[in-house]
Amino acid sequence: MKIIGNAKGQVTGVEVARVDRKRQPIEGTEFVIKADLVLLAIGFAHPVHEGMLAELGAKHDTRGNLLADTFSYKTTVDKVFAAGDMRRGQSLVVWAIREGRQAARAIDLELMGRTDLPR
Ligand X SMILES: Cc1cc2nc3c(=O)[nH]c(=O)nc-3n(C[C@H](O)[C@H](O)[C@H](O)COP(=O)(O)OP(=O)(O)OC[C@H]3O[C@@H](n4cnc5c(N)ncnc54)[C@H](O)[C@@H]3O)c2cc1C
Site of interaction with ligand X (CB under 6 A): 43, 52, 84-86, 91-93, 96
CB of 107 to ligand X, least distance (A): 15
C-alpha distances out from residue 81 to 16, 29, 39, 72, 104, Å: 38, 42, 32, 8, 9
Instruction: Write down the least CB distance from residue 7 to ligand X, Å.
Output: 35
User: What are the C-alpha distances in Å from 54 to residues 5, 67, 109?
Assistant: 32, 13, 27
Q: Which helix (H) or strand (E) holds 52?
A: helix 52-56
Residues, the chain: 119
Nearer to ligand X, 4 or 81 (CB): 81
Rounded to a whole number of angstroms, the minimum distance from the CB of residue 115 to ligand X is 21
Nearer CB in complex with ligand X: 32/92: 92
CB of 109 to ligand X, least distance (A): 20
Of the pair 43, 113, the CB lying nearest ligand X is at 43
Q: In the complex with ligand X, which residue's Cβ is closer, 7 or 40?
A: 40
* Residue 19 host element (H or E): none
